Amino acid sequence: MTKLDVKKAKEANSIGENLLKKLAPTLSKSQFLISKTSLNKGKFPEKWKTSVNAPLHQEGDKAAIMFYRPINCLSFPSKVLEKIVFDCLHNAIRKFLHDSQFDFRQLPSCIDRIICFLDKIYRDNDTKLPEELTVFY
């Protein structure tokens, strides 16, 4: 519970993430038991499915609606369960990921992925002139 970023979007219920983070030592056992039961039964607690849509400003005029995108603010316990599931899945699959596969990894970044892609295109273009290039991404 203490690893989640409290600076991100606020949760759907009225309990603040800072308060929950401070209470983590007390609440962590209950969170663990609920999460474990949820995973064992294959059911996600109904209360944790509630989210609140909030506008997030991207750029430009703050008065213009076109410069906002919606985000869903989930409850803090659902974020904790999501992190538990992600960590378990990540630990299980990371040994099967090829070095050139960038998904499900912290590094390399999206920028690294684009640079590798462009490098491949440029190298192929230097050795042979393609008549046509089609890219599916």
SS3 letters for 3-61?
A: CCCCCCCCCCCCCCHHHHHHCHHHHHHHHHHHHHHHHHHCCCCHHHHCEEEEEEECCCC
- Same structural domain, 36 and 73: yes
- Same structural domain, 118 and 105: yes
Q: Does pLDDT of 2 surpass 70?
A: no
Could you tell me the pLDDT band of residue 68, with boundaries at 50, 70 and 90? very high
- Same structural domain, 9 and 42: yes
- Same structural domain, 46 and 31: yes
- Same structural domain, 63 and 124: no
- Same structural domain, 63 and 92: yes
- Same structural domain, 86 and 58: yes
Q: Does pLDDT of 123 surpass 60?
A: yes
Domain total in the chain: 2
Could you tell me the pLDDT band of residue 113, with boundaries at 50, 70 and 90? confident
Tens of pLDDT, residue by residue over 21-59, are 788 888 888 888 888 898 899 888 888 888 888 888 888
- The residue range of the domain holding 16 is 1-96
- Same structural domain, 27 and 91: yes
Entry pTM: 0.56
- Same structural domain, 30 and 90: yes
- Same structural domain, 88 and 118: no
- Same structural domain, 77 and 115: no
Q: Does pLDDT of 97 surpass 80?
A: no
What is the rounded CA–CA span in Å between residue 111 and residue 103?
12
- Same structural domain, 48 and 38: yes
